[in-house]
Structure 1
């Protein structure tokens, strides 16, 4: 490999002022310095853009949802690799440096992730779910039915993947953005690696926030199902976790979270029963 690859860090935002500064601070502290930050903002009305300007990020405006924002980020990236980061994630300071080295052997990497400083019951349930799925990651790495999703890719694979995704769903798909991307990339390469101790996630602060977020996922997923888009992928998502007797405590906490999310998700899913995506 050449000595210094350019990494494009893509971060979709919408009213992300609560968490985006911490995300950008974690990028500023990276031991690997050859990267660009591309913010794909959906017309935030808070201080998100002001904060991003402080860090001299490239800002791209996009009126749409997550999958389309990911595509717009890929379109505007100049790097050899792309890191698909969220505005509520915090990178470990050596993460990019270690990822670049691992890419000598892989085409994409999934990032080991835990909850950031979990204190509330909800945050602790999230952390248990993340710990369980990643401890048994081989059970969850398949793009159909799995929940382990790569975030660090060779750029040419992402560009090819977005050529295959139906253009009509790009501005409308909120849920399963990573799953759809991974599904398409996996058709081209199965060289998936793991980056340990990589990222921490600021979880939802309230049950109400979690319900609204997951309800919205249910509605948008139903739109895709109604139009028979990625049926083999979508039908196997949002299932409970198998109980692992060796980690019974983690399994119980993980499935408690999954049960609450299932209520919100199914509420949205059935609310979207008759909704379709125009043009599909």
Structure 2
């Protein structure tokens, strides 16, 4: 039986960690411990963590704020498992998560893995719509959690595992924000380790609770992709330009209303067709017309947020502007 250490960095989100820890108490496979790293929070979760010590093997550490990447390294250094698992604090873990992971690793061992994320029935309609937008084939989010994706699988840190050997070889994250998990995944693969997707090791990921926060998050993701380019230029692929292209197309549609009604209605028709396809697909998958409409808004928020962030950071890179 493999020993796992769960490393969870947290910053000012005590309510989230409570729900996550509650889900870990229900695991059908129990050979794991939990390391909570409080990253300089002003609202601490120590009391909540301590309330689970009778149900989980859990340790709590408080440190100055250094960002999520270096906080994960801090947890890795103190973990005692053969394999380290990282979750975002806004995740809920299905009861059979570790059972499925152990089974998958026994059948086909991976040095590093990533798992998909899904929407939980308890999520709000907005959260379900955001989850749809990040996992749908109609968006760039459709690349995530999909074995049919093109290219080598790069784990993401909302649901990611590495062997102890991977950490000892790579020493973990070398940047703490702006695409730190992508940079880490690339170095893992470049070091010769085997990575893959474990489809059944999924988590319920809450993400953001409103579209304003979601836009800010995706704006940051767009900037992060250019930051990864600074480390690994070859990793910037054509697909990463798609949200920026979509954003430019939306802007062009609005501007075309000034100089050409024909072009405007043509472009608007394309956007309406895209919206209808999303509406139908999201409505069917969620069995809710309301979530279908919210999903259209979520997709536009996702793509334009990412696109604007991407273009903003690309401009800074091209003209070497100071951040």
Range class of TM-score, shorter chain: 0.7 to 0.9
Structure 1 alignment gaps of length 5 or more: none
Name the counterpart of 1:124: 129
Q: 1:88 to 1:140 in 2, by over 3 A?
A: farther
Count residues with an aligned counterpart.
261
Equivalences for 1:1-280 in 2 at 5 Å? 4-56=1-53, 57-60=58-61, 61-104=63-106, 105-107=108-110, 108-117=112-121, 118-121=123-126, 123-132=128-137, 133=142, 134=144, 136-139=146-149, 142-143=152-153, 151-162=160-171, 167=174, 170=175, 173-187=176-190, 188-196=192-200, 198-217=202-221, 228-233=230-235, 238-240=240-242, 248-249=277-278, 250=281, 253=296, 255-263=299-307, 265-266=309-310, 269=313, 274-275=321-322
C-alpha separation between the residues in 1 aligned to 2:41 and 2:96? 30
C-alpha separation between the residues in 2 aligned to 1:119 and 1:34? 33
User: 1:63-106: CA deviations, max 9, x gaps?
Assistant: 21122122222222110111111100111101012212221222
Q: If you compute each CA radius of gyration, which structure gives the higher value, 1 or 2?
A: 2
Q: Which 4+ runs in 1 deviate beyond 6 A?
A: 146-150
C-alpha separation between the residues in 2 aligned to 1:76 and 1:37? 10
C-alpha separation between the residues in 2 aligned to 1:39 and 1:8? 10
Maintained 8 Å contact 2:153/2:196: no
In terms of fraction of residues, the more helix-rich structure is: 2
Maintained 8 Å contact 1:98/1:195: no
Structure 2 alignment gaps of length 5 or more: 247-273, 283-294
C-alpha separation between the residues in 2 aligned to 1:131 and 1:204? 17
Q: 1:46 to 1:267 in 2, by over 3 A?
A: farther
RMSD: 3.5
C-alpha separation between the residues in 1 aligned to 2:219 and 2:196? 31
The answer to which of 61-70 and 85-94 deviates more is 61-70
C-alpha separation between the residues in 1 aligned to 2:131 and 2:98? 24
User: 1:140-159: CA deviations, max 9, x gaps?
Assistant: 55357x97997122221133
Maintained 8 Å contact 1:143/1:179: no
Normalised to the residue count of structure 2, the TM-score between the two structures is: 0.68
User: 1:119-146: CA deviations, max 9, x gaps?
Assistant: 33463143243243257442255357x9
Secondary structure of the structure 2 residue equivalent to 1:68? helix
Normalised to the residue count of structure 1, the TM-score between the two structures is: 0.77
